[in-house]
Structure formats: structure tokens, C-alpha cells
Amino acid sequence: METKMKHAIPTQKLIGLSLAVVVVSVLFGTAIWRWQVNLQGPESPLQGLQTFGFVPDFSLTERDGRRISLSDLKGNVSVVNFIYTNCPDTCPIQSAQMSQLQGDFKSEKELRLVSITVDPERDTPEVLSQYAARFDADPARWFFLTGEKEAIYKLAQEGFRLGAVEIPHHQRPASGATHTHSPRFVLVDREAEIRGYYVSTDPEDMKRIRRDLRVLLRGED
């Protein structure tokens, strides 16, 4: 009998320990679930929109010679991208997507589309004007901006957190690309706060930006 009792006690302890582990695991899992729910918030039209900081002030030249600054965007919802007119890669796709956004939201007076060149040495206002005409860009709603190279690269890299680099001559590919830059669109709200990034070559991202644009234009944020 004593021998059986000696073996039974460790077994009872093991069962109790196992139950304790299960209880702790359940409580921990429940706590994690509640934390995730609180973090995500209730399901709403804004689900998916985030905040990535504010666009810094800038001053660049539009294709018609006007100076465009951050004050021209504030109060409007904006979509910003970086391109250059001789780009053999994603720029034509980006501009075509911007043109579609212009058409899809043609009745929205508080929408601004902003394309900034990363090759300002060649993309003069005159060159940008010719390029914009290819996409029927409305000068009142779709800006094509140029300016000082250093200012543009600083705005891209530090302001919008997007890559923008000129390719050294000895490293340029056979495609003729002279610059590397992000293919992403940046969604900016009326307070000049960055709310989302969207890959212009991804159909799902283009659906998402349309959804998020409608939310911001309705003022549901």
C-alpha cells in the first residue's frame, strides 16, 4: 500500500500541473485576443488606413510655371507618386493608373493628383507639360512638379519615405533606366498626413486605394 501511495502522489501532482498549464494558456490566449481586438478597433470603413507621419512643407514648380507648396494640398485629399518622363519601367503604368483615378473621381473637387519627377535636370516644365498631355492631365487637379534635385530627393526619402536615386552612368542597365524610384502611390489626407502606400502595379492595391480614397473624401476619418 505504501508503495502505491508513493507512486500516486507524483501522478496527482503531474495532473495538477498540467491543468494549471492549460488554464494559464487559455488565459494568455484570451488576453492576446483581447489585445488584438483593442488594437484593431471596431470594424469600420477606415480599417486598413493607417498613419505614417505628416508631409513636410515643400515648394516645387508646376508645368505651367506655378509654385506649388504644401498649402496647395492641405484641405484636399491627395495621391502622390514619383516618376520621370524617360522612365522605361513602371512610370508609364503609374501615369496610366493616375489617369484612371482622375477619370474615376472626376466629380471630386477636393482630390489632387501629384506626380513629382526624380529627373529634374531633363524634366523641365515644358517637358512635363508634353508628358502630362499624353495622359489628359487636368492642370487644376493633377500636378506635375519639378525643382531642385536635392530638394526633390529629400522630399521623397525623408518626407514620403520612398526611394529615389540616380543610377551612376557605369551601372545603368540596357533598358535605358537612369533612375530608381518607388512605384508606390502615397495617399495623403486633408491635414497632410500620410495614410497609406499602394503599389501601382498591383491590381489589389489599386482597388484598395479607390476604397480608401472614397472614405477620406467622404470625411469619415
Residue 79 domain-assigned? yes
Same domain (yes/no): 63, 36: no
pLDDT at 10: 53
Same domain (yes/no): 106, 196: yes
Same domain (yes/no): 71, 179: yes
User: Roughly how many angstroms between the first and final C-alpha of the chain, as a whole number?
Assistant: 73
Residue 159 phi/psi, 5° resolution?
-80, -50
Same domain (yes/no): 37, 64: no
Helix segments in the chain, DSSP class H: 2-40, 91-104, 125-134, 149-154, 203-217
487636368: which residue's cell?
Answer: 138
Same domain (yes/no): 3, 77: no
**What's the rounded Cα separation, in Å, for the pair 123 and 11?**
80
**C-alpha cell read off for 193:** 498626413
HEC profile for 117-162? ECCCCCCCHHHHHHHHHHCCCCCCCEEEEECCHHHHHHHHHHHCCC
Residue 168 domain-assigned? yes
Kind of pairing, strands 77-83 and 111-117?
A: parallel
pLDDT at 181: 87
Residue 48 domain-assigned? no
pLDDT at 221: 62
CATH code of the domain in which 87 resides: 3.40.30.10
pLDDT at 48: 67
**What's the rounded Cα separation, in Å, for the pair 63 and 59?**
13
**What's the rounded Cα separation, in Å, for the pair 106 and 193?**
23
Same domain (yes/no): 189, 157: yes
Question: Which of 7-16, 71-80, 122-131 comes out lowest in average pLDDT?
Answer: 7-16
Is the pLDDT reported for residue 4 higher than 90?
Answer: no
Residue 88 domain-assigned? yes
**C-alpha cell read off for 107:** 466629380
At 66-110, the pLDDT tens digits run 999 999 999 999 999 999 999 988 999 999 999 999 999 999 999
Residue 54 domain-assigned? no
For the chain, what is the domain count? Answer: 2
pLDDT at 207: 95
Residue 211 domain-assigned? yes
Cα 36 to chain centroid, rounded:
23
Residue 53 domain-assigned? no
pLDDT at 27: 38
At 143-178, the pLDDT tens digits run 999 999 999 999 999 999 999 888 888 888 888 888
Which amino acid is residue 168, in one-letter code? P
Same domain (yes/no): 111, 202: yes
Range of the domain at 154: 59-217
pLDDT at 5: 45
Same domain (yes/no): 127, 195: yes
Same domain (yes/no): 172, 63: yes
Same domain (yes/no): 203, 109: yes
Mean pLDDT along residues 40-68: 78
**What's the rounded Cα separation, in Å, for the pair 155 and 87?**
20
| Residue 32 banded pLDDT, cuts 50, 70, 90 | very low
pLDDT at 190: 96
pLDDT at 178: 86
| Residue 180 banded pLDDT, cuts 50, 70, 90 | confident
Residue 50 domain-assigned? no
Cα 189 to chain centroid, rounded:
12
**What's the rounded Cα separation, in Å, for the pair 13 and 43?**
45
Same domain (yes/no): 35, 80: no
**C-alpha cell read off for 30:** 484570451
Same domain (yes/no): 77, 184: yes
